[in-house]
Amino acid sequence: MLPRVITLGCVAAWAVGLSAADQTQTQPAPEEVQAARRAVARAVAAVAADLGSDSYRKREAAQKALLDLSEAVLAEVLRQAHVDQPEEAQRVGQLFSSLAVSARQGEMLIAMPAKRRKALLELAKAHPAEFNKLWSQDPAAAAAAVTGLAVKGGPACESVVCWALRRPHWEVRMAAIQAVGAMDGPSKDINNALWERLEAVGARGEGAGFFDEGSGARWAQEMLRGHESKAAMRSLVALKDDRILARLLRTVFVTRGDSPFGPGREGLVGLIVELNDKRTVATLADRVHENDRVSEIHYGNGKQVSVSTGDLALGIILTQTNQKLADYGFYTGRDRGPSGNEMGFETEAKRTAARAKFRQWWQQHRKEYEGVEKIPLTAESQPAGGGREQLPEFIEMWD
């Protein structure tokens, strides 16, 4: 209820200016404005102290009284204003839009601990234009405000990013995800908010062939979900979040669909290699000999190769351990790292030889990975996905 109460003074003053007795539509005298504000202040003071009362009944009564007061003022504005007149109707609409922004700002602040609240208020005072644009009805303007405030640094800017990651607009969330990369040592709060968003997007956005599911709005929705999911993963990789490797491996190797190498997963393999985590080698060494989900790749020069999940596992291991794909007989078509759409074996004989060579390498290096955790890669370990399309705007962000 507090955000509404905060704005009651200005609402009451505005109501005086639109009173039926003021048919000339002149501005209210300063003393009338001040009198209206004092009247509201007295009404609020009479009950506000009971919001923290030890008595549940008093707390409930105080909350209801403040709500009734705010609604009465707003209702009086609608009653007294000449809303059949375009000018006044427009101004009433602007008033309620401003009050809605103030309410959402208040709700954002109240959800935070005192220290965070103080820092955010200081940020708002220092950069009022950008701060107010966070609640713009234009998602592009709100996204630009997130980007602009995130680079200011400090706990208040982290608060803005955490809050933006929970907004319903895709552009605002993407701006927050991308802003993480420009922040200097984001806190655990940022990691957790990113992870929460990744879980809410769901595994559907990461699955193979999500570009091919349906058409029209469904296609666009799946595409945007996929972009957001991969952007969140990239940020979590940059932050070295301990949980992201398991998510990446399961997304690539636990497949929903007829191919693990669809456009929805392209690029995730590079993130696995970028992490350079010994758990990757320890986990994928057991999958090098898998032959399932074979795909065919045709090159413009007439070359044709086949690739399986075992080949992809081998390619990741070789790249992470600074070995060359070509030395194992891979044909890549271009000089680049492992990719489900860009590498494979021309013949089964070359694949067999590559696996034999890997077995020799593994025998020599196995001890380096003794005791290293192996990440379970089963259908049961893969997140179900399909989380809520939109998270509530305001969630408790910090302990």
Contact in structure between 210 and 226 (CB atoms under 8 Å): yes
Higher pLDDT, 78 or 220: 78
DSSP secondary structure of 318-349 = HHHTT--SGGGT-B-SSS-S--TTT-BBSSHH
Confidence of residue 361 (pLDDT cuts 50, 70, 90): very high
My answer on whether 235 and 170 are in the same domain is yes
Cut 0.85: pTM above it: no
What's the number of domains the chain is made of? Answer: 3
- Is 200 found in the same domain as 280? no
pLDDT digits (tens, 9 = 90+) for 322-342: 999 999 999 886 655 555 556
CA gap 9, 15 in Å, rounded: 10
Q: Is the dihedral of CA 203, 145, 188, 275 positive or negative?
A: positive
Q: Report the alpha-carbon distance of residue 166 to residue 164 in Å, rounded.
A: 5
Distance, CA of 190 to CA of 215 (rounded, Å): 34
| Ordered alpha helix ranges (H), the chain | 2-6, 8-17, 30-48, 56-80, 86-110, 114-126, 128-133, 139-150, 155-164, 170-180, 188-201, 216-238, 244-253, 268-275, 278-284, 309-320, 348-365
Flag whether pLDDT at 182 surpasses 80: no
**Residue that finishes a domain, picked among 110, 143, 162:** 110
Residue 251 inside a domain? The answer is: no
- pLDDT one-digit tens code per residue, 198-246: 887 764 444 433 333 444 445 455 556 667 888 888 888 888 888 899 9
Residues 281 and 365 in one domain: yes
d(CA 392, CA 311): 42
CA distances from 144 to 88, 124, 286 (A): 31, 15, 46
Burial of 278 per CB tally in 10 Å (0-12, 13-18, 19+): middle
- Helix 216-238, helix 188-201: angle, nearest 10: 150
Residue 151 and residue 220 share a domain: yes
Claim to verify: residue 236 and residue 307 sit in the same structural domain: no
**Do residue 95 and residue 120 come from a single domain?**
no
Q: Is residue 197 part of a domain?
A: yes
Q: Are residues 174 and 284 in the same domain?
A: no
Domain co-membership, 127 together with 234: yes
pLDDT tens per residue, range 27-62: 556 788 788 788 888 888 888 888 888 899 988 998
Average pLDDT, the chain: 76
Half-sphere exposure of residue 85: CA atoms within 13 angstroms, side-chain side: 10
The verdict on 96 and 165 lying in the same domain is no
The residue range of the domain holding 366 is: 270-383
| 106 and 26 co-located in one domain | yes
For residues 335 and 375, state if they share a domain: yes
* Confidence tier at 285 by pLDDT (50, 70, 90): very high
pLDDT band with cut points at 50, 70 and 90 for residue 251: confident
Give me the phi and psi of 163, to 5 degrees please: -65, -45
Q: Which of 63, 93, 110 is the last residue of a domain?
A: 110
393 part of a folded domain = no
Domain end residue (candidates: 190, 222, 241): 241
Look at residues 43, 42, 62 and name the one whose alpha carbon lies nearest to residue 52.
62
- Count the neighbouring beta carbons within 10 Å of the beta carbon of residue 347: 12
